[in-house]
Structures are given as structure tokens and as C-alpha cells.
Amino acid sequence: MIEQAVAPVPTGAPTAEPILRLRDLRVTFDTVGGPARAVRGVSLDVFPGEAVAVVGESGSGKSVTMLATLGLLRGAAVSGSATYRGTELIGLAPSRLRHVRGAKISMVFQDPMTSLNPVLTVGRQLDMVMRAHNPDMSKKATRARAVDLLDQVAIAQAARRCDAYPHELSGGMRQRVMIAMAIANEPEVLIADEPTTALDVTVQAQIMDLLGRLQRERQLSLVLITHDLGVVAGAADRLAVMYAGKLVEHGTVPSVFAEPGHPYTRGLLACLPRLDRRGEMQAAIPGIPPSPLSLPPGCPFAPRCPDAVTACTEHEPVLVRTATSTIACSVHAPAAVVR
């Protein structure tokens, strides 16, 4: 039942070459309190056309991992490897990295209220995004495409909205504009960093529908960073759970949801409100995540873990393949060979 996992090969993912391949990615911030190890060796593959959800609490390193991949962190020490179609992104010259950002790998941020330039119209911003990668495009061409893009992200009266300033649009519409900007250059990978956190619930569903539709229609690889497992259930093929800067579990969404291997994943799933269990007290994981400045010895989840044994605090578990997923837990998936 238990096998040694060498690399996190996804169960049930397309058997193509990964489009984005992270290997032992580490990010350390130098803070006044000492080095904060935000990401401590993350390996993850993203295959063409699939939707991967990266899940974790605030500070688990999920956003930082993806920001580091695109070289968007200032003042952080990044090591390890992140390749896009074989091109190493970590340490890539800024001038070359610029041609990856937005054109090959795009990103949608959390807060659409502050992520748009307040002094330029929507159309002008779309124009700049397109011309950042295709300087030869005419104003007329970018304008036509801007209207088309706004149409694709389901903004009504796209031609009129094109001349609107961000403050004239609602939060949901602004996030649609952000998505339009992100897909303007036909990227292969779209990273959505908590794209619905700042929106209200009905708009959240619309934005997730839109992302799902775009992903299917364009065969995009979608990396969805979220702390909302409810969002993951409907939108992602695979799931990667992060805790204290490491992956603790990954596998396909159906199998992880049906049989979560890691106690942390179980805890997260138990926290989901369920319609079939009304009236019960909402479950919660006791305690708070450890500070990246002072991680406990052994498994970082051990202090909060209901299943923890003495061995948990002695050495940190490695990722091990189980029947349903891949988990890092000494109790539920003890490593056969210590690597």
C-alpha cells in the first residue's frame, strides 16, 4: 500500500511533460527577527490543461511559492528550481523573465480594488499589456482585441466599458478586467492568487465559473491559490496542501476529498460547512500555524495534530506515496527508507 515517492508524480494527471515544474523551491526572507523560512522545499508539477489548487492557511507559503516562481519577490533569497517548459526561471535575467510574465505565465491577484492602475482606462491598460509583449500591434488592433477580451470575460457593453476607469467598475467587474489582462497574451499558465477572497459570495461563484470556463476553452493550466476548499472542490483537478512552507499532501481532488491522508487535510475538510450535517458545531483545528521564524522540531503540524506521537517531534516527515495520494506524515505514511 505504501510506496516511496521520488518525485510528486500526480495520480491521474495527463501523462504529458509538465509545463511548470518546481523542484525543492525554497524562499527565505531576511527579517529583523532572523531568517524567515517561508517556503522550505516545494516540488510540484503543473501539466498542460489541468487545474491545480494550492491550499493552505495564511502564511503557509502558497502565494510566496508562486510569486517566487515568477521572480516577483523583492528582497527574498530564492533557491531550488522552477522551470517553464525546460527554461529555468529562478535566477533568469529580468529582461528575459519579463517575456515569460504575462505572455507565458500570467497572474491574477487577490484584490481587484487595488490591482488596477487608477489613472488609466481599462482599455488603455489592456493595450499596454498587449503591447508589452507585442510592441508592433497597432492601437486599432489592441482596441479591437480589448473589446473582444472584455466580452470573453463576460463584461456587458464591452466597447463602452473599455473607456471606463477602474473606479467606475464594481469589484467583480474589476476582477474580470484583471482576468482579461492576464489572458490577453494567450498565456499557457494562469496563476490565480486567491482570486475571489476580496469579493462577495455570489460574485465569487461567477468569477470561479469564468476561470473554469476559460481554463477549459483555452486549455489553460490553472494554478489556483486559495484557502477555501469549497472553491477547490468545483474548480480543480488536483490539490496540493501546504503547511508551514512545505507540501503535506497532494493528489487528485476526488481522492483527497474522499480519503484525506494527512491529519491537516482532514482537519481542513472537517472545517467545511456541510449541508448534510446541520446543527452540528463547526469543527476547527486548534492552535495556530507556527511562525516561520521559529519552526518546531520535527513535523511542523505536530503541536496541533490529534494523531501526533513522540516520533513526530523528532524528525520531519518526507512525502510518501499512499494508495490515494502523497502525504508527508510519519504516522499515516511512515517512510520505508529514510532518505
Partner 1 sequence: MTALPPIALPVVVEPRTRRGRGRRPAWRRGPALVGLVVLALWVLVALTLPLWTPFGPLDPVDKRLLSPNAHHWLGTDALGRDVFTRVLWGARTSLPVAAIVILAAVIIGTIIGAVSGFFGGWIDAVLMRFVDITMAFPPILLAMAITASLGPSIRNAVIAMILVWWPIYARLLRAQVIAVRQRDFVDSAVAIGASRWLILRRYVLPMSYTPVLVNATMDFGQVVLLVASLSFIGLGARPPSPEWGAMITEGATNFYQWWIAAGPGLAILLVVLAFNFVGDGLRDTFDVRDDS
Residue 58 Cβ, how far from partner 1 at the closest point, in Å?
A: 17
CA angle 262, 265, 266 (to 5 degrees): 85
* Cβ nearer to partner 1, comparing 103 with 210: 103
Phi, psi dihedrals of residue 26, rounded to the nearest 5° = -130, 135
Give the residue, chosen from 13, 129, 173, 192, that forms a contact with partner 1 under the rule CB under 8 A: 129
192 binds partner 1 (CB under 8 A): no
d(CA 198, CA 175): 9
102 binds partner 1 (CB under 8 A): yes
Residue 82 Cβ, how far from partner 1 at the closest point, in Å?
A: 15
Give the interface size with partner 1 as a residue count (CB under 8 A).
Answer: 28
Burial class of 6 by CB neighbour count within 10 A (0 to 12, 13 to 18, 19+): exposed
118 binds partner 1 (CB under 8 A): yes
Q: Which positions from 5 to 44 touch partner 1 by CB under 8 A, shown as an x/- string?
A: ----------------------------------------
Helix axes 139-152 and 122-133, enclosed angle (nearest 10): 110
Select the span of 110-118, 275-283, 301-309, 310-318 touching partner 1 (CB under 8 A): 110-118
Helix (H, G, I), strand (E, B), or coil: what is residue 24? strand
244 binds partner 1 (CB under 8 A): no
Q: Which positions from 162 to 191 touch partner 1 by CB under 8 A, shown as an x/- string?
A: ----------------x--xx--x------
* Cβ nearer to partner 1, comparing 119 with 156: 119
Concatenate the DSSP letters of all residues of 260-322 into one string: --SHHHHHHHHTS--GGGTTSPPP---S-PPPTTSPPSS-TTGGG-TT--GGGGTSPPPPEE-
101 binds partner 1 (CB under 8 A): yes
70 binds partner 1 (CB under 8 A): yes
Concatenate the DSSP letters of all residues of 134-199 into one string: -TT--HHHHHHHHHHHHHHTT-SSHHHHTT--GGGS-HHHHHHHHHHHHHTT--SEEEEESTTTTS
Give the residue, chosen from 63, 65, 106, 152, that forms a contact with partner 1 under the rule CB under 8 A: 106
Chain residues binding partner 1 by CB under 8 A are 70, 72, 94, 98-103, 106-107, 109, 111, 114-120, 128-129, 132-133, 178, 181-182, 185
